[in-house]
A and B are shown apart, each in its own frame.
Chain A
Protein backbone atom coordinates (compact mmCIF):
# COMPACT_ATOMS: atom_id res chain seq x y z
CA UNK A 1 0.00 0.00 0.00
CA UNK A 2 2.21 2.79 -1.21
CA UNK A 3 -0.61 5.20 -1.89
CA UNK A 4 -2.51 6.34 1.26
CA UNK A 5 -5.34 7.45 -0.98
CA UNK A 6 -5.95 3.82 -1.85
CA UNK A 7 -6.89 3.16 1.76
CA UNK A 8 -9.28 6.09 1.72
CA UNK A 9 -10.91 4.90 -1.47
CA UNK A 10 -11.39 1.41 -0.06
CA UNK A 11 -12.86 2.87 3.14
CA UNK A 12 -15.24 5.01 1.08
CA UNK A 13 -16.32 1.96 -0.88
CA UNK A 14 -16.96 -0.03 2.30
CA UNK A 15 -18.88 2.84 3.90
CA UNK A 16 -21.08 3.21 0.82
CA UNK A 17 -21.61 -0.53 0.63
CA UNK A 18 -22.73 -0.57 4.26
CA UNK A 19 -25.03 2.38 3.61
CA UNK A 20 -26.52 0.67 0.58
CA UNK A 21 -28.06 -2.15 2.59
CA UNK A 22 -31.17 -0.04 3.23
CA UNK A 23 -31.41 1.28 -0.31
CA UNK A 24 -35.07 1.33 -1.42
CA UNK A 25 -34.44 -0.25 -4.82
CA UNK A 26 -32.56 -3.14 -3.25
CA UNK A 27 -29.03 -3.88 -2.09
CA UNK A 28 -28.01 -5.81 -5.23
CA UNK A 29 -29.07 -2.90 -7.42
CA UNK A 30 -27.06 -0.51 -5.27
CA UNK A 31 -23.99 -2.74 -5.14
CA UNK A 32 -23.89 -3.16 -8.90
CA UNK A 33 -24.16 0.57 -9.50
CA UNK A 34 -21.55 1.27 -6.81
CA UNK A 35 -19.07 -1.18 -8.33
CA UNK A 36 -19.62 0.20 -11.84
CA UNK A 37 -19.13 3.75 -10.60
CA UNK A 38 -15.87 2.88 -8.84
CA UNK A 39 -14.60 0.71 -11.70
CA UNK A 40 -15.17 3.57 -14.15
CA UNK A 41 -12.52 5.58 -12.31
CA UNK A 42 -10.09 2.76 -11.56
CA UNK A 43 -7.36 4.11 -13.85
CA UNK A 44 -7.26 7.58 -12.35
CA UNK A 45 -3.76 8.24 -10.97
CA UNK A 46 -3.67 12.00 -10.41
CA UNK A 47 -3.93 12.51 -6.60
CA UNK A 48 -5.84 15.77 -7.08
CA UNK A 49 -8.45 14.03 -9.20
CA UNK A 50 -8.67 11.17 -6.70
CA UNK A 51 -9.22 13.65 -3.86
CA UNK A 52 -12.01 15.27 -5.87
CA UNK A 53 -13.63 11.88 -6.43
CA UNK A 54 -13.33 11.08 -2.71
CA UNK A 55 -15.07 14.36 -1.93
CA UNK A 56 -17.79 13.45 -4.37
CA UNK A 57 -18.10 10.10 -2.63
CA UNK A 58 -18.55 11.87 0.72
CA UNK A 59 -21.20 14.03 -0.90
CA UNK A 60 -23.01 10.91 -2.10
CA UNK A 61 -22.90 9.53 1.43
CA UNK A 62 -24.58 12.71 2.71
CA UNK A 63 -27.18 12.48 -0.06
CA UNK A 64 -28.03 8.88 0.80
CA UNK A 65 -28.26 9.67 4.52
CA UNK A 66 -30.63 12.54 3.69
CA UNK A 67 -32.67 10.20 1.49
CA UNK A 68 -33.02 7.65 4.27
CA UNK A 69 -33.95 10.29 6.82
CA UNK A 70 -36.60 11.87 4.58
CA UNK A 71 -38.14 8.51 3.69
CA UNK A 72 -38.39 7.56 7.33
CA UNK A 73 -39.64 10.99 8.44
CA UNK A 74 -42.31 11.08 5.74
CA UNK A 75 -43.43 7.54 6.53
CA UNK A 76 -43.71 8.30 10.24
CA UNK A 77 -45.49 11.60 9.57
CA UNK A 78 -47.97 9.89 7.27
CA UNK A 79 -48.69 7.10 9.73
CA UNK A 80 -48.88 8.99 12.98
CA UNK A 81 -49.97 12.51 12.21
CA UNK A 82 -53.39 13.73 11.12
CA UNK A 83 -53.20 15.36 7.65
CA UNK A 84 -56.26 17.48 8.45
CA UNK A 85 -54.55 19.15 11.38
CA UNK A 86 -50.99 19.67 10.25
CA UNK A 87 -48.52 20.68 12.92
CA UNK A 88 -47.00 24.16 12.60
Chain B
Protein backbone atom coordinates (compact mmCIF):
# COMPACT_ATOMS: atom_id res chain seq x y z
CA UNK B 1 0.00 0.00 0.00
CA UNK B 2 2.89 2.40 0.81
CA UNK B 3 4.45 1.83 -2.60
CA UNK B 4 1.21 2.58 -4.37
CA UNK B 5 0.66 5.73 -2.34
CA UNK B 6 4.12 6.94 -3.38
CA UNK B 7 3.43 6.10 -7.01
CA UNK B 8 0.15 7.96 -6.86
CA UNK B 9 1.81 11.03 -5.34
CA UNK B 10 4.58 10.97 -7.92
CA UNK B 11 2.10 10.61 -10.72
CA UNK B 12 0.09 13.50 -9.39
CA UNK B 13 3.19 15.67 -9.20
CA UNK B 14 4.07 14.81 -12.76
CA UNK B 15 0.43 15.21 -13.74
CA UNK B 16 0.25 11.82 -15.39
CA UNK B 17 -2.37 9.16 -14.98
CA UNK B 18 -1.85 6.24 -12.62
CA UNK B 19 -3.73 4.01 -15.09
CA UNK B 20 -2.05 0.69 -15.72
CA UNK B 21 -3.32 0.48 -19.27
CA UNK B 22 -4.33 2.98 -21.88
CA UNK B 23 -7.92 1.75 -21.84
CA UNK B 24 -8.36 2.15 -18.05
CA UNK B 25 -10.07 5.39 -16.95
CA UNK B 26 -7.55 7.95 -15.74
CA UNK B 27 -9.01 7.97 -12.23
CA UNK B 28 -9.15 4.21 -11.63
CA UNK B 29 -7.24 2.45 -8.86
CA UNK B 30 -4.42 0.08 -9.53
CA UNK B 31 -5.44 -3.45 -8.67
CA UNK B 32 -4.47 -4.60 -5.20
CA UNK B 33 -4.00 -8.03 -3.72
CA UNK B 34 -6.27 -7.78 -0.70
CA UNK B 35 -7.02 -10.78 1.45
CA UNK B 36 -10.24 -12.32 2.63
CA UNK B 37 -10.19 -14.62 5.65
CA UNK B 38 -11.87 -18.00 5.63
CA UNK B 39 -14.64 -18.49 8.14
CA UNK B 40 -15.91 -14.93 7.91
CA UNK B 41 -18.91 -13.67 5.97
CA UNK B 42 -18.77 -10.62 3.76
CA UNK B 43 -21.12 -7.87 2.56
CA UNK B 44 -21.00 -6.26 -0.88
CA UNK B 45 -20.27 -2.98 0.90
CA UNK B 46 -16.99 -4.50 2.11
CA UNK B 47 -17.66 -5.27 5.75
CA UNK B 48 -16.99 -8.64 7.38
CA UNK B 49 -18.72 -10.46 10.22
CA UNK B 50 -17.44 -13.29 12.43
CA UNK B 51 -20.26 -15.17 14.10
CA UNK B 52 -19.32 -17.03 17.27
CA UNK B 53 -22.32 -18.26 19.22
CA UNK B 54 -24.28 -15.29 20.52
CA UNK B 55 -21.73 -12.71 19.41
CA UNK B 56 -20.97 -11.35 15.95
CA UNK B 57 -17.84 -9.24 15.44
CA UNK B 58 -17.84 -6.69 12.61
CA UNK B 59 -15.20 -4.71 10.77
CA UNK B 60 -14.19 -3.54 7.32
CA UNK B 61 -12.26 -5.76 4.96
CA UNK B 62 -8.68 -5.63 3.82
CA UNK B 63 -9.96 -4.59 0.37
CA UNK B 64 -11.84 -1.67 1.92
CA UNK B 65 -8.98 -0.41 4.08
CA UNK B 66 -6.61 -0.65 1.14
CA UNK B 67 -8.88 1.40 -1.11
CA UNK B 68 -9.69 3.94 1.59
CA UNK B 69 -6.10 4.69 2.54
CA UNK B 70 -4.75 5.58 5.95
CA UNK B 71 -7.59 5.73 8.48
CA UNK B 72 -7.18 8.74 10.74
CA UNK B 73 -10.45 8.78 12.66
CA UNK B 74 -13.20 6.34 13.50
CA UNK B 75 -16.73 7.19 14.62
CA UNK B 76 -18.47 4.37 16.47
CA UNK B 77 -21.97 4.11 17.91
CA UNK B 78 -22.85 3.86 21.58
CA UNK B 79 -23.19 0.44 23.19
CA UNK B 80 -26.83 -0.49 23.43
CA UNK B 81 -27.80 0.98 20.06
CA UNK B 82 -29.29 -1.23 17.38
CA UNK B 83 -27.42 -2.22 14.24
CA UNK B 84 -29.50 -3.01 11.16
CA UNK B 85 -28.23 -5.10 8.28
CA UNK B 86 -27.22 -2.92 5.35
CA UNK B 87 -27.46 0.32 7.34
CA UNK B 88 -24.65 2.55 8.54
CA UNK B 89 -23.53 2.29 12.15
CA UNK B 90 -20.43 4.44 12.06
CA UNK B 91 -17.82 5.93 9.80
CA UNK B 92 -14.10 6.08 9.14
CA UNK B 93 -12.10 9.06 7.95
CA UNK B 94 -9.26 8.56 5.52
CA UNK B 95 -7.45 10.89 3.12
CA UNK B 96 -10.04 13.68 3.09
CA UNK B 97 -13.15 11.53 3.17
CA UNK B 98 -15.56 10.15 5.70
CA UNK B 99 -16.94 6.80 4.62
CA UNK B 100 -19.97 5.16 6.12
CA UNK B 101 -19.54 1.67 7.53
CA UNK B 102 -22.62 -0.52 7.20
CA UNK B 103 -23.51 -3.42 9.44
CA UNK B 104 -23.70 -6.82 7.74
CA UNK B 105 -25.94 -8.09 10.52
CA UNK B 106 -28.76 -6.82 12.73
CA UNK B 107 -28.78 -6.82 16.49
CA UNK B 108 -27.89 -4.99 19.67
CA UNK B 109 -24.41 -3.45 19.80
CA UNK B 110 -22.85 -4.95 22.92
CA UNK B 111 -19.26 -3.74 22.58
CA UNK B 112 -17.24 -1.25 20.56
CA UNK B 113 -13.49 -1.27 19.96
CA UNK B 114 -12.42 1.71 22.04
CA UNK B 115 -8.77 1.22 20.98
CA UNK B 116 -9.72 2.73 17.62
CA UNK B 117 -10.18 6.14 19.20
CA UNK B 118 -6.49 6.53 19.96
CA UNK B 119 -5.25 4.17 17.26
CA UNK B 120 -7.49 4.29 14.17
CA UNK B 121 -4.65 2.83 12.10
CA UNK B 122 -5.44 -0.59 13.57
CA UNK B 123 -8.07 -0.80 10.86
CA UNK B 124 -5.28 -0.62 8.26
CA UNK B 125 -2.77 -2.84 10.03
CA UNK B 126 -5.21 -5.49 11.24
CA UNK B 127 -8.63 -5.15 9.57
CA UNK B 128 -9.67 -8.66 10.65
CA UNK B 129 -7.97 -8.67 14.04
CA UNK B 130 -7.22 -5.61 16.19
CA UNK B 131 -9.15 -3.40 13.75
CA UNK B 132 -12.58 -4.90 14.57
CA UNK B 133 -15.20 -2.20 15.09
CA UNK B 134 -18.28 -3.49 16.91
CA UNK B 135 -19.67 -6.62 18.48
CA UNK B 136 -23.33 -7.38 17.98
CA UNK B 137 -25.79 -9.77 19.60
CA UNK B 138 -27.51 -11.03 16.44
CA UNK B 139 -31.28 -10.65 16.41
CA UNK B 140 -31.65 -12.70 13.22
CA UNK B 141 -28.70 -15.04 12.54
CA UNK B 142 -30.34 -16.21 9.33
CA UNK B 143 -29.19 -12.89 7.82
CA UNK B 144 -25.76 -14.48 7.53
CA UNK B 145 -27.15 -16.62 4.74
CA UNK B 146 -27.40 -13.58 2.49
CA UNK B 147 -23.69 -12.77 2.84
CA UNK B 148 -20.72 -14.03 0.82
CA UNK B 149 -18.07 -16.47 1.95
CA UNK B 150 -14.36 -15.73 1.48
CA UNK B 151 -14.14 -17.25 -1.97
CA UNK B 152 -17.25 -15.48 -3.23
CA UNK B 153 -16.08 -12.17 -1.74
CA UNK B 154 -12.65 -12.46 -3.33
CA UNK B 155 -14.26 -13.01 -6.71
CA UNK B 156 -16.63 -10.10 -6.07
CA UNK B 157 -13.69 -7.77 -5.35
CA UNK B 158 -11.82 -8.90 -8.45
CA UNK B 159 -14.86 -8.31 -10.63
CA UNK B 160 -15.55 -4.94 -9.04
CA UNK B 161 -12.00 -3.75 -9.55
CA UNK B 162 -11.91 -5.08 -13.10
CA UNK B 163 -15.10 -3.26 -14.06
CA UNK B 164 -13.70 0.13 -13.00
A binds B: no
Footprint of B on A, CB under 8 Å? none
